Structure 1
Amino acid sequence: MAQVTHGTGTQVANHGGGVHSIKVPIPDNPLGHTLVHLVDTDRGPVLIDTGWDDPVSWDTLVAGLAALGTAVTDIHGVVITHHHPDHHGLSGQVREASGAWIAMHEADTAIVRRTRESEPGTWLDYLTRKLAAVGAPDDHLAPLRAARSGGRLRTLPGLRAALPDREIVPGELLDLAGRRLRAVWTPGHTPGHVCLHLEERHPAGLAGNGRLFSGDHLLPGISPHIGLYEDPDDTAVTDPLGDYLASLERIGRLGVAEVLPAHQHAFTDAGGRVRELLDHHEERLTGLLALLATPLTPWQLAERMEWNRPWEQIPHGSRSIAVSEAESHLRRLVKLGRAEAVPGGPPVTYIAA
């Protein structure tokens, strides 16, 4: 892989075989950037993800395309791995500039549609009720209530996300002229997350079954966030962690030669990374059972879980995300019969079975 830093400061990489990547920055985020991939096709270049909706991110994407000898106006299509704003944020602007189509799995398209059509306060009301039900203290709920009453809602990510105009159908080849790119449904990080399997010989001759654009599903040094699928109107009890673990095993069976993720860097040995992540989550579930020797609310469990920094240093918004991850692990333990809800509440408490 050849990587070049151009005079603009734009970093682009040539992965061979008509595949490049551009590091598009994510503002004020420790991840740093999204790797937007450019795939050449017989009908023109296609982007896999687009980056965060931000002027600096847009300028970086445009400069990166120019460094690769193309322009945003030349983009033929946009394939989105999942709806999160660091992946889907600039899709609408790309479509406006180029007339490109946008493709996404129907489960994530439904989220985009719901977010666009909902009264903005609906989400904050739902989140406040939900956090109260799992034991969040008043000092965590107060800023949410203040934002709701103060009308500070139009800055929420996703309110102007583009509605896709094509559906990614799992198991099918995408309509990319001259390429074999197959969609693999990998729910977990989001309900409609997809990986994209480039079923073509590796350009450097690496052994294995082609390459995989893995989005956030399989990253070389990070375990992606697995929280609850948030839908205020859905009463179904989902199991995102169970979905994620099953999706990991599905990807492991592909035997790809190389993984091209949306963050960090390209890597080989997908099977080894899959095993590491499966082991990580099993160890985490076992550790949570020890914590559940006495009844805990999901909030109390999140406070006691191991994160990348002490709980006291985790910002307000990240605490809400952490509690959602604690809940997804609790859902998995309950489904496996290893934990159970204690009658009573709210707030709901859980104990090891």
Structure 2
Amino acid sequence: MPQDTSQVTDHGGGVWGIKVPIPDNPLGHTLVHVLDTDRGPVLVDTGWDDPESWDTLVAGLATLGIAIADVHGVVITHHHPDHHGLSGRVREASGAWIAMHAADTEVVVRTRSSEPGVWFDYMSAKLAAAGAPEEHIAPLRAARASGRMRTLPGLRAAVPDREIVPAELLPLAGRRLRAIWTPGHTPGHVCLHLEEEHPANLPGNGRLFSGDHLLPGISPHIGLYEAPEDTRVTDPLGDYLDSLERIGRLAPAEVLPAHQHAFTDAPARVRELLDHHEERLAGLWALLAEPLTPWGLAERMEWNRPWEQIPYGSRNIAVSEAEAHLRRLVKQGRAEAVPGTDPVTYRAV
């Protein structure tokens, strides 16, 4: 058995985890999992597209006696750049296939093909509609005008060549890995259930590669995920809560998430997250005793630091999360838009 190092963990039963760093990010690293199959090693996620991240992934594989050229396939839990970033490089070096859920592949294709200026215009319009002050929107307009747009992560993300079909086993020789569609964090997020006995005989139902859906100490970001031209009213938080309950019922013996560390008792963690979101919704409902825009609500929500200390980009994420919670309250009949307001304000019902 290979020895654990600071970067590589042996989870037993032909499964390893490699800590691949995320540059300048408090999360620190993505846990890229390696699954041994009869056709060669398969990666679950690949990490951020950065030279240090690539070197760490290659070195981690080498610790296991695997050359990057040996990689047979790449299974992506979701399209975010800290998970899918290095997939293209892995494919170039090895000829590996890349598999992703169709809904996230659609996002990758759309992002690659759209003019970045469209994204800046869309974000500016969305923030204005959410009640953001002009001084917050101005930098986006300036970036649009200056052409500083080719630096956005994901613009050149690899287009997957296989589709992960929910509820089906992935075609992995000698392994039973079943896809579970868990939308919420992204529209095409999947967890991957390894339907095999736990190597240490822990009680429960196999092992779960949970991506960002179920993490031991973090509640993943749930924001809006729609295309500029999309008119559908999505409910990502509702999707997420439904997906969580499904994973809780699955009761895996062990969860191997993409951040932090492996853990057991998934049903207990699911209950914690369900309670957390219900408390949050109740708190937001109370705040809406006075009509508020999504921006105004985000300013008053409880974050991990005061609003004044939240960096620019994180405020955009916070407003998206506020909007996702507002959508859930409206759908539950606990809040409504105030007619005739521009930007739209919401009030408790």
Q: TM class by shorter-chain length?
A: over 0.9
1:345: Cα distance to partner?
A: 2.7
One of 52, 58, 65 as aligned partner of 1:56: 52
Alignment correspondent of 1:159: 155
The letter of the residue matching 1:93 is R
Q: Please state how far the C-alpha of 1:3 moved relative to its aligned partner.
A: 6.7
Mapped partners of 1:239, 1:214: distance in 2: 21
Partner residue in 1 for 2:34: 38
Q: Deviations over 1:185-221 (max 9, x none)?
A: 0000000000000000000000111000000000000
What is the identity, as a one-letter code, of the residue corresponding to 1:137? P
Q: Moved runs in structure 1, 4+ residues, more than 6 A?
A: none
| Superposition deviation, residue 4 in structure 1 | 2.6
Q: 1:226 aligns with which of 199, 222, 237?
A: 222
Match of 1:4 in 2: 4
1:286 aligns to 2:319 (yes or no):
no
Q: Which amino acid aligns with 1:179?
A: R
Instruction: Output one character per residue of 1:247-290: Cα deviation in whole Å (capped at 9) or x when no partner.
Output: 00000111110000000000000000000000000000000011
1:69 matched to 2:59: no
Q: Which residue of 2 aligns with 1:16?
A: 12
Q: 2:312 and 2:134 mapped to 1: Cα distance?
A: 12
Matched, 1:261 2:257: yes
Matching residue of 2:308? 312
Aligned counterpart, 1:109: 105
Note the aligned Cα RMSD (angstroms).
1.0
How far 1:346 moved relative to its partner?
Answer: 2.0
Match of 2:321 in 1: 325
User: Structure 1 residues 120 and 268 mapped into 2: Cα distance closer, same or farther (>3 Å)?
Assistant: same
Gaps of 5+ in 2: none
How far does the alpha carbon of each residue in 1:12-63 deviate from its partner, in whole angstroms, 9 at most, with x for none? 0000000000000000000000000000000000000000000110000000
What secondary structure, in the 3-state scheme, does the structure 1 residue paired with 2:250 have? coil
Q: Name the CA distance, whole Å, in 2 between partners of 1:239 and 1:20.
A: 35
The reply on whether 1:347 has 2:343 as its aligned counterpart is yes
Is 1:303 paired with 2:299?
yes
Pick closer, same or farther for the CA change 1:243–1:109 going to 2, 3 Å.
same
Q: CA deviation at 1:344?
A: 1.6
SS in 2 for 1:253: helix
The residue type equivalent to 1:38 in the other structure is V
Decide which of 176, 179, 183 is 1:183's aligned counterpart: 179
SS of the equivalent of 1:170 reads coil
Aligned residues: 349
- For residues 305-325 of structure 1, give each alpha carbon's deviation from its aligned partner in whole angstroms, at most 9, with x where no partner exists: 000000000000000000000
Quote how far apart the aligned CAs of 1:68 are. 1.1
Displacement of 1:71 after TM fit? 1.1
> Contact (CA 8 Å) 1:134, 1:346: kept in 2 or not?
no
Q: How does 1:123-142 map to 2 (within 5 A)?
A: 123-142=119-138
| Offset, 1:2 | 8.4
Match for 1:90 among 78, 86, 89? 86
- For residues 290 and 173 of structure 1, what CA distance do their matches in structure 2 show? 44
**Amino acid across the alignment from 2:49:** D
Partners of 1:272 and 1:233 in 2: CA distance: 39
2:77 to 57, 64, 81: 81
State which of 265, 270, 274 in structure 2 corresponds to 1:274. Answer: 270
Contact 1:49 1:78 in 2 (8 A): yes
Q: Is the 8 A contact 2:99 2:160 kept in 1?
A: yes
The Cα of 1:326 is off from its aligned counterpart by: 0.1
Is the CA contact 1:303–1:311 (under 8 Å) kept in the aligned structure 2?
yes
**CA distance in structure 1 between the aligned counterparts of 2:154 and 2:186, rounded to whole angstroms:** 14
Q: Is 1:213 aligned with 2:203?
A: no
In structure 2, the residue matched to 1:201 is: 197
Residues 101-149 of structure 1: per-residue CA shift (max 9 Å, x gap):
0000000000000000001111111000000011000111011001000
Specify the alignment match of 2:141 in structure 1. 145
CA distance in 2, matches of 1:218, 1:256: 12
TM-score for the superposition, normalised by structure 1: 0.98
Contact conserved, 1:220 with 1:265, CA < 8 A, in 2?
yes
Unaligned runs of 5+ in 1: none
1-side partners of 2:208 and 2:268: how far apart?
Answer: 15
Residue 13 of structure 1 aligns to a residue whose secondary structure is strand
